[in-house]
Amino acid sequence: MHYVPFGRTGVKVSPLTLGCMMFGGKASAADSARIIDRALDAGINFLDTANVYNEGRSEEVTGAALKANGKRARVFLATKVHRPMDATDPNAAGLSRRHIIAECEASLRRLQTDHIDLYQLHRQQTDTAIDETLRALDDLVRAGKVRYLGTSTWAAWQITEGLWCSDRHHLNRLVCEQPPYNLLDRRIERELLPMCRTHGIATIPWSPIAGGLLSGKYRAGQPRPAGTRFFDTSTSPINAARWTENSLAVVEKLLPLAEARHVPLSQFALAWVLHQPGVTSPIVGPRTLEQFEDNLKALDLKLSATELKRIDEIVPPGSHTSPYYEADFGPHQHRW
């Protein structure tokens, strides 16, 4: 396993991040522990979760697994804050000092650790001043409870505002962004990735295989496989937004490229993200050990210049497949 710089921090992380969103939910505690053990054995040292995943169960399961195998010290452990944790409490969400500090303490307990390596703001919060949020995070860093600060699904201008605020008030700066990025949504190439490269911001893309739409399971004009994530999109707005004729048309054009390499489309799509300039470590979110083994194989798949050129012809740089695909990148009416 080779390791890559985590922005300008000096930390070295694996080129693939194990996302823990399924843990404690669709993946049982036992299966989650097996996936974590396999990841660490393979050299993966970067794990990402969030307080809101499965109402805290993801953090609990991840923390218990790391305690059981005694390998917490070798892991760069990330979690997030912002999403509602109690529907009956208006203050149990957002980026206020109150919520951030309370949820950091709760995450530390669930993860059974004395510090969080990377604490990320899960989304933006326009009704909270950025200096209010960053001062709370800075206090957590100075208290030794958090090592580094990051964001998830922020626009380039929002992160730049955060850097400006940190500089002006002498606060610990944001060092990482976690954006959606895959062959069906390349919008971050327009401004976000160039900004991150300019300012030494690490990038850890989520949804590199578009929530499974780039797995190869789904074909245009064919029935959706029963029991899969996209079999019934009526209960999932984000999956309904992903499932478009344009998306499936792109899948049909990409499949021959993967077939020519004798690999599943999932590996081919993940390998493409790994190839992109400015990408630090894509996040994979396996539900089963079999899915994770498939993810690991993408590390050994090197795409040729000819393949990369053909991909750009199918999905031009900066493009996306529908008016609203993964995220709107900020609280404004003009979606990216």
**Digit-coded pLDDT (tens) for 300-324:** 999 999 999 999 999 999 988 865 4
pLDDT in tens, 60-110: 999 999 999 999 999 999 999 999 999 999 999 999 999 999 999 999 999
- Report yes or no on whether pTM surpasses 0.85: yes
pLDDT band at 336 (very low <50, low <70, confident <90, very high): very low
Query: If pLDDT is split at 50, 70 and 90, which confidence band does 329 have?
Result: low
**Which pLDDT belongs to residue 238?**
77
Residue 84 lies inside a defined structural domain of this protein = yes
* Amino acid letter, residue 223: P
Question: Is position 314 within any domain?
Answer: no
Across the range 224-250, mean pLDDT stands at 81
CATH, residue 8: 3.20.20.100
- The amino acid that residue 29 corresponds to is A
Q: What percent of the chain shows pLDDT beyond 90?
A: 83
Determine the residue type at 196.
Answer: C
Residues in the chain: 336
**pLDDT digit string (tens) for 179-189?**
999 999 999 99
- Return the higher-pLDDT residue of 308 and 231: 308
pLDDT at residue 126 in the model = 82
Q: Does residue 164 lie in a domain region?
A: yes
Q: Is 71 helix (H, G, I), strand (E, B) or coil?
A: coil
Half-sphere CA count of 33, side-chain side, radius 13 A = 13
**How many structural domains does the chain have?**
1
Q: Is the pLDDT of residue 335 over 50?
A: no
Instruction: Give the SS3 label for residue 289.
Output: helix
The pLDDT value given to residue 240: 78
> Would you place residue 333 in the very low, low, confident or very high pLDDT band (cuts 50, 70, 90)?
very low
254 inside domain: no
Which residues constitute the domain of residue 156? 4-212+274-302
Do the domain assignments include residue 234? no
Q: Which of 3, 53, 119, 325 is catalytic?
A: 53
Answer yes or no: is 235 within a domain: no
Indicate if 148 belongs to the active site: no
Sorting pLDDT into bands at 50, 70 and 90, what band is 192? very high
Q: Give the CA distances from residue 143 to residues 99, 223, 327, in Å, rounded to whole numbers and listed in that order.
A: 17, 54, 33
- Render pLDDT for 129-157 as a digit per residue (tens, 0 to 9): 999 999 999 999 999 999 999 999 999 99
Inform me whether the pLDDT recorded for 328 exceeds 80: no
Q: Determine, yes or no, domain membership for 208.
A: yes
Rounded Cα distance between 266 and 182, Å, is 11
In a domain, 222, yes or no: no
% of the chain surpassing 70 pLDDT: 96
By CB atoms closer than 10 A (0-12, 13-18, 19+), residue 24 is buried
Decide: helix, strand or coil at residue 3.
coil
d(CA 246, CA 323): 11
Is the pLDDT reported for residue 334 higher than 50?
Answer: no
Q: Which amino acid is at 91?
A: N
